[in-house]
């Protein structure tokens, strides 16, 4: 069992179809790193929750995970809500170490891809 995981944290929605693009992204990440445990969690309005995902990873023997906020900006949820949530979840699952990356939209290569896409419209 891989002892490290990536948790793609998305906002979530009441509409189950809303998650499909994120499921597709997750599947693409899995193709790039097939030996990693990659999963999705919803911040709100969806399932599974971060707590549910962390519990499942812990039962699989995962020892550490990085939470990757799949958001364009590190403001709002990423700077206020997510750190509090991760700390709360980590406290309930002391056998699994959690860290948080910056929002995917803050990575230079993502910004460049967005700019190039918009410019090409």
pLDDT for the residue numbered 43: 93
Is pLDDT of 13 > 70?
Answer: yes
CATH class of 4-119: alpha beta
Order the strands of the 37-42 sheet from edge to edge.
Answer: 37-42, 4-10, 64-69, 97-100
The predicted pLDDT at position 1 comes to: 54
Q: For 41-58, what is each residue's pLDDT tens digit?
A: 999 888 899 999 999 999
**In this structure, which long-range contacts are made by residues 107-114, counting pairs with CB atoms below 8 Å and at least 24 apart in sequence?**
114/72
Q: Could you give the CA distance from residue 98 to residue 42 in angstroms, rounded to a whole number?
A: 16
Q: Is 11 in contact with 45 (CB distance < 8 Å)?
A: yes
- How many residues are given for the chain? 121
Per-residue pLDDT, 75: 78
pLDDT single digits (tens) 110-121: 999 999 999 999
Per-residue pLDDT, 58: 94
């Amino acid at each position: 069992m891989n002892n490290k995981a990536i948790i793609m944290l998305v906002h979530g929605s009441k509409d189950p179809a809303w998650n499909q693009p994120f499921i597709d992204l997750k599947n693409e990440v899995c193709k790039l790193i097939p030996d990693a445990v990659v999963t999705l969690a919803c911040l709100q309005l969806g399932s599974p929750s971060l707590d549910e995902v962390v519990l499942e990873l812990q039962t699989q023997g995962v020892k550490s995970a990085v939470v990757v906020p799949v958001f364009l900006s590190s403001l709002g949820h990423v700077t206020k809500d997510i750190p509090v949530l991760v700390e709360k979840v980590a406290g309930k699952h002391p056998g699994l170490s959690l860290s948080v990356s910056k929002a995917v939209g803050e990575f230079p290569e993502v910004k460049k891809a967005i700019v190039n896409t918009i410019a090409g419209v």
